[in-house]
């Protein structure tokens, strides 16, 4: 029986030698084509349409090298050749009628699989943003501070990544949010002055009466299509709950819903959604509004950062902020519970971040890392294998817009100044420099520009006649601000703490961020760092030219240009 089968197979192959060789070549070509089009050396996954599947699920390998690519190709080619052998074996063993039935069944199964893959490939992921207002990175346990426990943020890390390098390009909310929605630097589109535009009023308050202009909206910013509008045009349902504050007049096409009731729940069945939830309980104002409420942490257990004196007033203020973060975590838990109950949590991306640095003096409105560096944690769909627990790339808010479009499989507008750091269009170019700026905070102009690498930071101050500790009316409502001002007058601050109040301030600053994370030792005159200083000076100059930064214009002159 075995001899007869082998003889039959040998005769069959002799008669169909060219067909046999042709099918092997076709199988090899198809296998290599599939391997080439789906292989990604930086992303070990099998890409099909808008979805990604781990290569390991198919072949038990990861596509991270040329050897893995060849192994993947070999697996695909071998599979196709074996399939042809199986087909020929059936042709030899079965009668023609049975063979026809088998072929019909085979093509039916193949069609079902193809249709299923096609449907799967058109599925776009849901994306949720959870935004805690006014919080520096270093307040959170994921960055070394174990003062508090945050169980709902912890849950995101079951399949998530902690990002170390995310920074806001401006240390205050409205300019920072303008960069998020447009993918552009605020000082390139006329949205860098805090409270250029106000959604709730037309006349400036008494505290800003010295300004020679009313609220205005930059036409440059208005001409840029918000990334949320692009999502809508590609089938997404977009909601914002509820803060906007983009520092310019945003088009009504940006959101399907923007209110305190806005939610994904009002979308059409199976429609993909992008939903933002802002939590104001951590806002600067809550430091004085919630000052008398019961604390959720013991002030004596808190590590006081070196920018503040270690006394009871400082500890209490820090305890209020930690308590607010705990309350925020509790509130965001309701969003997570709703996603789980509606069977949406597992397959969704969830971003947790803050809109700029912390709510305290020398944090918010400060171009130091305390004002710019924010927490970012991203929970990935459980169908995706997390590549890394922690990421150290330099990232900026201008990267959010292209990244969300990349995750959704949508083309990224060429005008965007940021780069996608996730998704099908992830940029292969890692940022070497991160840029930031400030222009005006409410009633006080405070022009600064800064550039940093992972190790060093260079700051250029334009309004040197005033201290970093600008006399901002809004902030004087905080007991801590009044306390620090009084201690400075009494000469009771340490030399490092007094630097913030120094007037006039230095026109340039340079810091070793690895050894001086709170930027207390200005090395601008240290000749040991002259080459690094010159490098960052040049990079800052080039960036300002590249984005058409009009820092030398008065705001009144700028308004004449950007409102026409």
Catalytic residues: 173
For residue 451, give the nearest of 544, 527, 362, 381 by alpha carbon: 544
H/E run at residue 460: strand 456-461
Inter-CA distances, 374 with 124, 136, 227, 329, 518, Å: 28, 5, 21, 16, 14
What is the residue-wise DSSP string for 101-166? HHHHHHHHHHHHHHHHHHHHHTPPPPEEEEEESS--GGGSGGGT--S---HHHHHHGGGEEEES-E
The beta-strand segments (E) located in 233-310 are 237-241, 257-258, 273-279
Residue whose tokens read 């009009």: 550
DSSP type of residue 305: P
Handedness of CA 332, 336, 341, 343 (dihedral sign): positive
Q: How far apart are CA 359 and CA 282, in angstroms?
A: 8
CB–CB of 131/397 below 8 Å?
no
Residue-wise burial string across 159-195, b where 16 or more C-beta atoms lie within 10 A, e elsewhere: bbbbbbbbbbbbbbbbbbbbbbbbbbbbbbbbbbbbb
Quick count: other Cβ atoms within 10 Å of Cβ 468?
22
DSSP state of 193: B
Q: Which among 406, 403, 371, 379 is positioned nearest to 519, based on CA atoms?
A: 371
Per DSSP, 230 falls in state: H
């Amino acid at each position: 029986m075995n001899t007869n089968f082998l003889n039959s197979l040998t005769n069959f192959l002799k008669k169909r030698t060219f067909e046999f060789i042709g099918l092997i070549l076709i199988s090899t070509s198809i296998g290599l084509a599939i391997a080439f089009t789906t292989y990604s050396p930086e992303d070990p996954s099998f890409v099909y349409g808008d979805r990604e599947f781990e290569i390991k699920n198919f072949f038990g390998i990861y596509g991270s090298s040329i050897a893995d690519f060849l192994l993947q190709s070999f697996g695909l080619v071998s599979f196709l050749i074996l399939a042809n052998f199986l087909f020929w074996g059936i042709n030899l063993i079965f009668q023609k009628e049975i063979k026809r039935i088998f072929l019909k069944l085979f093509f039916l199964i193949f069609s079902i699989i193809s249709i299923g893959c096609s449907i799967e490939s058109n599925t776009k992921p849901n994306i949720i943003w959870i935004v805690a207002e006014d919080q520096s990175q270093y307040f959170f346990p994921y960055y070394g501070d174990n003062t508090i426990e945050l169980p709902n943020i912890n849950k995101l890390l079951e399949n998530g990544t902690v990002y170390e390098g995310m920074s806001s390009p401006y240390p205050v909310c409205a300019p920072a949010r303008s960069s998020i929605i447009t993918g552009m630097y605020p000082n390139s589109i006329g949205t860098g002055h805090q409270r250029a535009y106000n959604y709730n009023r037309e006349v400036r308050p008494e505290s800003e009466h010295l300004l020679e202009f009313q609220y205005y909206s930059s036409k440059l910013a208005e001409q840029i299509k918000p990334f949320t509008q692009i999502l809508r045009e590609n089938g997404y349902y977009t909601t914002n709950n509820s803060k906007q504050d983009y520092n310019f007049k945003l088009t009504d096409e940006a959101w399907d819903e923007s209110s305190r009731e806005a939610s994904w729940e009002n979308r059409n069945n199976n429609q993909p959604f992008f939903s933002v939830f802002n939590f104001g309980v951590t806002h600067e104002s809550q430091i004085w509004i919630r000052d008398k409420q019961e604390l959720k942490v013991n002030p004596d257990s808190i590590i006081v950062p070196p920018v503040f004196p270690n006394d009871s007033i400082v500890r209490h203020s820090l305890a209020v902020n930690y308590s607010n973060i705990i309350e925020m975590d509790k509130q965001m838990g309701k969003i997570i519970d709703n996603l789980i109950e509606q069977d949406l949590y597992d397959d969704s991306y969830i971003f947790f971040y803050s809109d700029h640095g912390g709510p305290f003096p020398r944090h918010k409105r400060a171009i130091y890392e305390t004002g710019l560096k924010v927490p970012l944690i991203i929970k990935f769909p459980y169908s995706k294998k997390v590549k890394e627990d922690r990421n150290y790339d330099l990232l900026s808010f201008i990267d959010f817009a292209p990244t969300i479009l990349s995750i959704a499989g949508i083309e990224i507008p060429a005008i965007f100044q940021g780069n996608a750091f996730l998704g099908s269009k992830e940029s292969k170019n890692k940022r070497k420099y991160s840029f930031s700026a400030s222009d005006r905070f409410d009633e006080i102009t405070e022009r600064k520009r800064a550039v940093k690498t992972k190790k060093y930071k260079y700051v250029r101050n334009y309004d040197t006649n005033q201290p970093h500790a600008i006399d901002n009316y809004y902030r004087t409502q905080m007991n801590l601000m009044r306390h620090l001002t009084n201690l400075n007058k009494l000469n009771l601050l340490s030399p490092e703490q007094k630097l913030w109040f120094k007037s006039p301030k230095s026109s340039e600053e340079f810091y070793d961020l690895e050894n001086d994370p709170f930027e207390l030792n200005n090395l601008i005159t240290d000749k040991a760092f002259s080459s690094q200083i010159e490098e960052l000076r040049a990079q800052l100059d080039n960036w300002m030219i590249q984005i058409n930064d009009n820092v030398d214009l008065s705001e009144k002159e700028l308004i004449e240009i950007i409102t026409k």
